[in-house]
Amino acid sequence: MTVIIDYQAGNLTSVVRSLKALGVMGEVTQDPEVVAKARRVIFPGVGAAGKAMATLRQLGLDQALLQCFNRGIPILGICLGAQIILTHSEENDTPCLGLLPGRTLALPLKPGLKIPHMGWNKVRFLRPHAVFKGLPEAAEYYFVHSYYPAPAQAAMVLGVTEHGVEFPSAVGWRNLVATQFHPEKSGRFGLQILENFLAWDGSHAE
């Protein structure tokens, strides 16, 4: 069972539609017991870190996610779901889930640079990972964000993107992988990432 976590942070319809295109019926839920028993978890989201974390804690989904992570269940974080997996976010000065050590930082304000970073951009993958297997170097992915994940350990950064600064746009550790961009809105290459995730056993092997 592939579970899509609903913590009132939007972005669910596109994920469900993309899974259907791949022949998979994802179960959207706010029930922590359903999440804790999932065989695969997608953790999407848009919005502010403070409100998202408050909702996760209120619903008990923070502990359910931790249980999944500790059980080795494959987890895919998307956008906000790639930020609040870290220890702390600069947005709203928010303590986060702490599944990965590190901080979520604001994109720098520079003359002529548009924030939020919105639109299509490339990802330079730094190391092989099963979820990003078979993607062409020239592929572009869809971004909408003002913050980005900055894991404490360089080995957790799987891919980087340039927008005023080179920032981590794909991160991962153990059975968790996350993208700052939206695979569900990134055309055929985004679908390939989702398909790869659905086949991934949660290991580090390519």
> Annotated catalytic, 182?
yes
| 8 Å CB contact between 130 and 171 | no
Catalytic residue among 117, 129, 163, 182: 182
102-106/88-89 β-pairing: parallel
The DSSP result for the chain, as a single string, is -EEEE-SS---HHHHHHHHHHTT---EEE--HHHHHT-SEEEE---S-HHHHHHHHHHHTHHHHHHHHHHHT--EEEETHHHHTTSSEETGGGEE---SSSEEEEEPPP-TT--SSEEEEEE-EE-S--GGGTT--TT-EEEEEESEEEEESSGGGEEEEEESSSEEEEEEEETTEEEESSBGGGSHHHHHHHHHHHHH--S-S--
Catalytic residue among 79, 91, 96, 145: 79
117-122/94-95 β-pairing: unpaired
Catalytic residue among 91, 96, 184, 195: 184
> Annotated catalytic, 68?
no
Residues with a catalytic annotation lie at: 79, 182, 184
